[in-house]
Amino acid sequence: MGGKAAGLARLVELGERVPEYFCVAPDDGPAAILEGWARLGRPAVAVRSSATAEDLPDAAFAGQYETVLDVSGPEALLAAVETCRASLHSARAVAYREARGLPAGRMTVVVQRMVDAVAHGVIFTADPVTGCRTAMRIEPATPLPGLTKIGARVQAAFGGPQDIEWAADRDGVVWLLQARPITTLFPAPPATPEPRVYVEFGHVQGMLQPVTPLGTSTLRALIAGMLAPLGLRAEIVDIGGRLYGDLTDLARHPAARRRLVDLLAVDFGPRAQAAMRHVLADPRFAPRPDAPKRPPFRMPRGALTGIVRALARPRKARARARDAVERIRVASRPPTGALSAAQRLAWIHRTGDGPAGDLIWPIAAGMLASALPGKLARGTITAAGIHATLAGMPHNVTIEMDLALWRLAAGAGEHRELLRDTEPRELAERYARGTLPDIGMAGFLDAYGHRGPAEVDLGVPRWSEDPAPVFAALANYLRVTDPAQAPDLRFARAAAAAEQALRGVKGPSRFLLRRARELAGLRESGKFAGLYRLRAMREQYLLIGADLAARHLLDEPGDIVFLTPDEVRSAVHERADHRATAAARARVHRRELRRRHVPVVLLSDGTDVEATLRPSAPQGTLAGVGASAGRATGPARVVTDPATARIEPGEVLVVSTTDPGWTPLFLTAAALVTETGAVMAHGPTVAREYGIPAVICVPDATRRIATGEVVTVDGSAGTVRPGETLRGRLW
């Protein structure tokens, strides 16, 4: 009978006060409806939609279907029922279902006695804004007693946070009109006996989407490697398919907490810093006198020597780093020949090569040289001034990749129209069949095909498997008609401007910024090298998946990405059937892919710390953090998928987050706006190197800015000012 009717039946079963009602099935005619109404005594009624695909764990359908209140008389009742039935196919309901990949289901109707109410409202048994599971929100705020107890009872019975509609009659009796899950809440962290604080690691790698179960294990190792040079360790917790680090012990350590906010600046960015400052002011995370006296931050062995060595001889450091990348590439070559699934699995689980010091310490030296001038020369050089000296940064493998793709576009010749006007998916299919003209794509993919969006997740295809995003970026390059806007020239201008800015810097800051220009571009090299092994591991896992599917232990080879490494091992060695497990996880993964907001900092009670803060900005202006100096005005282009993005030259790119797989889009953009990020993260770094303004950490930018809306991005002030919507543009 649908979600609403099921919720009411459960409330009745629990003994809660629910106004009498009856259900109208899809095939009930007027006579059956009027008979049910007669059994109620023909009172005034509320007629409510109750679809079979509503009030689901991830889709409440709130407001999508019709409700008609205070209905009196047989004609009005029959008309109200038809109104509710018809709302199953309304434009808004269809769009809502399609966006979530849900079926239409069937529409039944609840006819319920109206309550002669003197007060009514909603009990949220968890705070729908902050996500806190220990605080109820009752709207409107009312002193009416008992509502909190009712909410607690219903939540316990339903097994999760509920949105409960209530009404109080003239005798003060509280009636429950419906109960449904609060579907907007981010999944709760695991239950703990004391408050804990978690920081989300995925956006460091430019990821907001959930990680596949197979990818989680390798991403954990990547995070551990990222923290090691800082002397940090953190328990990694899976919450909603995203990986969070438990930083509670650091927050409570008397010495560590003083450096924690500054350390978050390196990769996590201003949003995480602001949230952590709020956490450190919370008495629940006050320093503990019984904490170990030794600070948990310890410089790893060999770090000082390696960093000083790189700063002293940057050219030799770059050469050592290049050699290290090549060694990792060669060592990552997968086995060849006809191997069994067990043999492939043994290769995957062999001890991988650890991060080479020849690669780590030059990268650390470049990051240190970039960060120190702002601290050593406060008052004599601004953040914008530092950013200006770091534009057009050489030795960055991601920039080299983007410019290599630009050279393909520049050499397209007679094939320009074909590549520009054909759908990227069709081009990728033609390339796979060998029917696409040779433009040098094979060479590009040989060098960079191990990359892609969300590339640190083993469950996500690489460009070598699916080059559609590359063809989409190539088409965007081919739309550049102004020679002065050619990406290679823009990069050269940015580099020249940076050198000019550097000549105006004096003292130690000049030395450090010069070393930053020689070393900081290496920052992408570590991840670039590690992706060689990830691609090889993915290839082997998919071959194992094919073997398991052939043995009917998986439905499809690709389903292997929804298993953990231990489950893959049990399937290979013990013939364990994981088809149901993989299918269930795939459904959850698809649901989480639709989630647009991922909390940067979470408390163990589910509180999204950032939601408790109140950012301030001039009226009509969106506030963020300036990450690349400059000012640009242009029509916005909101992009959620780089594989299908069409960017016109001069548009402002507005995204939730970026990783290196997105950066080819930057070459033709006028400016960049992101919802997440850090100043030294991939997106802002590439934006500076192309000399385009960038503002990061703009809350809800992809929802508050519309494609086609003219915006002004001020990378120095850290603001985005929306303007009028352009008419007649292709959206």
Predicted confidence (pLDDT) per residue in 630-653, tens digit: 889 999 999 888 777 788 888 999
pLDDT at 485: 82
Rg (alpha carbons) of the chain, rounded to whole number: 29
Integer Cα distance of 590 and 99 in angstroms: 11
Average pLDDT over residues 652-675: 83
By the 8 A CB rule, do 138 and 123 touch?
yes
Q: Which residues contact 276 (CB under 8 A, 6 or more apart)?
A: 197, 199, 247, 251, 260, 261, 264, 601, 609
Smallest Cα–Cα separation from 622: which of 648, 577, 654? 654
Laid out side by side, the sheet with 21-24 consists of: 21-24, 107-113, 45-51, 67-71
The two beta strands, 622-623 and 719-725, are: antiparallel
Q: Does domain 116-185 have CATH number 3.30.470.20?
A: yes
Average pLDDT over residues 402-430: 94
Distances (CA, A) of 614 to 253, 505, 623, 627: 27, 37, 12, 21
CA 459 from centre of chain: 15
Integer Cα distance of 160 and 179 in angstroms: 11
pLDDT at 729: 33
- Flag the least confident range among 288-302, 303-317, 456-470: 288-302
Integer Cα distance of 431 and 442 in angstroms: 9
- Joined together, the tokens standing for residue 28 give 């009930």
* Length of the chain (residues): 731
- What's the chain's average pLDDT? 87
Average pLDDT over residues 448-463: 92
Q: Give the residue, 382 or 470, on which the prediction is more confident.
A: 470
pLDDT at 386: 84
- Joined together, the tokens standing for residue 538 give 């993915």
CATH number for the domain running over 612-725: 3.50.30.10
- Would the pLDDT of 52 be above 70? yes
Average pLDDT over residues 604-610: 93
pLDDT band at 727, cuts 50/70/90? very low
Q: Dihedral (C-alpha) 651, 656, 661, 663: value to the nearest 10 degrees?
A: 30
CA 283 from centre of chain: 30
By the 8 A CB rule, do 177 and 167 touch?
yes
Integer Cα distance of 235 and 192 in angstroms: 14
Integer Cα distance of 578 and 558 in angstroms: 13
Smallest Cα–Cα separation from 720: which of 642, 639, 617? 617
- What CATH homologous superfamily does 1-114 map to? ATP-grasp fold, A domain (3.30.1490.20)
pLDDT at 669: 87
Burial class (CB in 10 A: 0-12, 13-18, 19+), 225: middle
By the 8 A CB rule, do 54 and 4 touch?
yes
- Flag the least confident range among 56-70, 173-187, 511-525, 696-710: 56-70
**Which residues make beta-bridge pairs with 110?**
23, 48
Coil, strand or helix: which one is 253? coil
- Would the pLDDT of 288 be above 70? yes
Integer Cα distance of 719 and 626 in angstroms: 7
Q: Computed from CA positions of residues 403, 495, 489, 709, in that sequence, does the dihedral angle turn out positive or negative?
A: positive
Integer Cα distance of 731 and 728 in angstroms: 9
Coil, strand or helix: which one is 695? strand
- Would the pLDDT of 20 be above 70? yes
Q: Dihedral (C-alpha) 197, 212, 357, 395: value to the nearest 10 degrees?
A: -100
- Would the pLDDT of 64 be above 90? no
- Flag the least confident range among 380-394, 539-553, 704-718: 380-394
